Amino acid sequence: RPSMITVKTKIGFGSPREGMASAHGEPLGADNIKALKEKLEWPSQEPFFVPEEVYDNYKNLAKESAKAEEAWNKLFDSYCKAYPEMKTLWDQQHDVNSAKDLINNEDFWAYADKPEATRNLSGMIINRLKNYLPNLIGGAADLAPSTKTYMNDMGDFSKENYAGRNLHFGVRELAMAAMGNGLALHGGLRAYVSTFFVFSDYVKPMARLSALMGLPLTFVLTHDSIGVGEDGPTHEPIEQLAMLRAMPNFTVFRPADATECIAAWYYAVTSTSTPTALVLTRQNLPQYAGSSKEALKGGYVISEAKKAVPDAIIMASGSEVELGVNAQAELSKEGIDVRVVSIPSMDLFEAQSAEYKESILPKSVRARVAVEAGTDFGWGKYVGLDGTTVTMKGFGASAPAGTLFKKFGFTTENVVKAVKSVL
């Protein structure tokens, strides 16, 4: 049973600045510190003085804690001998490399070739992972049916069912992410949390702590663009991709199809010290013959040009990869040879060698176009001074998704036009 200890405090207590904002934002200063020590009857004016009885108290505490640890270890050892099957499960759950064998598991990577929303694909993958990872636990901020994060037949965690692996966090995104951090800190649990991508603004402070502490928490963030449609601009993410990509030690994946989605989840459940965000669509996307496990490198050629050195390069992530592939086909009819590069994760692509990045985005090809249904912030390092972007220049609107993509220029024709403009 958890305990809550409430401590009533007053800023600057005991000092001449008690209750004042200056006690918070400025050093107290020598005179105020002297007055504070006199008021508290502190035994010395020596800076940073700590009485011996404090040291003695901590030494005793350390001894008592050592005894408690020894008793716990003995109890644990006795349980291991009495319940060897549970010990095996414990070891499996605390093995940070337990999911790495999935890289060669054909069943894990299998998918029927049909259009599907990446949020649905993610739900399918979660329900595969539950069988491989008995320590997988997670849930959503009252949105599991929409974010597809419910593990079927795994039960709901409650005081009546500690074995339940589905968590119902309620409409409290920040608290959900904080709880996710706590689960990740346990060391034997592989946790995920979920909400709509636009609400990552509420999640951000705890996601930042995930990154700062090096916790492998997974954030499942769906409804990733103007593809949300009729809910309108309040629910259509624009700047959120740039926000999360800017965070140190935080990996963002925006997969384009099933293979990339599986790769994203594989990375997430094999990460040991980096949180991962999976940014997923509401709308159906096609599957690509050229997609592969190379997605784990963050960027790769998903549809190659005919020539060794292409006339231009189209880069995209997620749902906009389709526009890149379609534009490639149209430009080919006019004798313009284009390479299409999928960049599901800028973070992982940046981690690759200079040689690899040069093989994907050769410096000699300066005609480049980036296509993404979000702000263009962050794409400049890839398109360069001679390239351009097909991106969102403002907030979205309320209309069917197809109408919005057309309104904001996310069409094959507009991508073709953009490529021609940089040749």
pLDDT digits (tens, 9 = 90+) for 97-144: 889 999 999 999 999 889 999 999 999 999 999 999 999 999 999 999
β-strands 166-168, 218-222: how paired? unpaired
- Separation between Cα atoms, residue 127 and residue 301, nearest integer Å: 29
- Distance (Å, whole) CA 181 – CA 206: 8
Q: Of residues 46, 69, 173, 322, which has the active-site annotation?
A: 173
Tell me the CATH number of domain 100-285, given options 3.40.1280.10, 3.30.1490.20, 3.40.50.970, 1.20.1090.10.
Answer: 3.40.50.970
Is 90 exceeded by the pLDDT of residue 260?
yes
* Arithmetic mean of pLDDT, 200-216: 98
| Region of poorest pLDDT, from 32-46, 218-232, 342-356 | 32-46
Closest by CA to 278, choosing from 417, 53, 85, 118, is 118
Distances (CA, A) of 274 to 23, 84, 247, 268: 36, 32, 11, 8
* Mean pLDDT calculated for residue range 67-76: 98
Mutual angle of helices 118-132 and 258-270, in 10-degree steps? 40
DSSP state of 256: S
In the predicted structure, residue 262 carries a pLDDT above the cut 90 = yes
239 catalytic residue (yes or no): no
Whether the CB-CB separation of 198 and 166 falls below 8 Å is answered with no
| C-alpha pair distances (Å), 378 with each of 16, 255, 314, 382 | 49, 17, 15, 8
pLDDT > 90? residue 62: yes
How far apart (Å, rounded) are the C-alpha atoms in residues 2 and 19? 32
Please calculate the CA angle 117-123-125 and round it to the nearest 5 degrees: 105
Q: How confident is the model at residue 215 (pLDDT cuts 50, 70, 90)?
A: very high
C-alpha 75/C-alpha 89 separation (Å) is 17
Q: How far apart are CA 355 and CA 82, in angstroms?
A: 54
- Coil/strand/helix, residue 372: coil
- Phi, psi angles (nearest 5°) of residue 175: -65, -35
Q: What is the pTM of this model?
A: 0.93
Band (4; pLDDT cuts 50, 70, 90): very high
Burial of 4 (0-12, 13-18, 19+ CB in 10 A): exposed
Domains of the chain by residue range: 52-93, 100-285, 298-422
> Mean pLDDT of all residues in the chain?
96
Q: Residue 368: what pLDDT? A: 98
Structure tokens belonging to residue 107 = 């069943």
Angle (deg, nearest 10), helices 412-422 and 321-333: 60
Q: How far apart are CA 166 and CA 189, in angstroms?
A: 13
Q: What percent of the chain has pLDDT over 90?
A: 95
Smallest CA-to-CA distance from 120 within 235, 219, 257, 231 is with 257
Q: What is the average pLDDT across 166-181? A: 98
% of the chain at pLDDT higher than 70: 100
Q: Of 375, 371, 415, give the one whose Cα is nearest residue 394.
A: 375
Among left, alpha and beta (phi > 0; psi -120 to 50; other), residue 255 is beta
Beta strands of 88-213 (E only): which ranges? 116-117, 136-140, 166-168, 190-196
pLDDT for the residue numbered 47: 87
Distance CA 240, CA 320 (A): 16
| Assigned token pair, 102 | 């999935």
Higher-scoring residue by pLDDT: 259, 1 = 259
Q: Looking at residue 56, what is its pLDDT?
A: 96
For residue 96, is pLDDT > 90?
no
Q: Determine the Cα–Cα distance for residues 317 and 373; give it in Å rounded to an integer.
A: 9
CA dist 253 and 251 (Å) reads 7
Residue type, 137: I
pLDDT at 1 over 90: no
DSSP H stretches of helix in 239-351: 240-245, 258-270, 321-333, 346-350
Helix (H, G, I), strand (E, B) or coil at 284: strand
CATH number of 298-422: 3.40.50.920
SS3 143: coil
Query: According to the model, what pLDDT value does residue 98 have?
Result: 87
Q: Do domains 100-285 and 298-422 have the same CATH topology?
A: yes
At 15-48, the pLDDT tens digits run 999 999 999 989 999 999 999 999 998 887 888 8
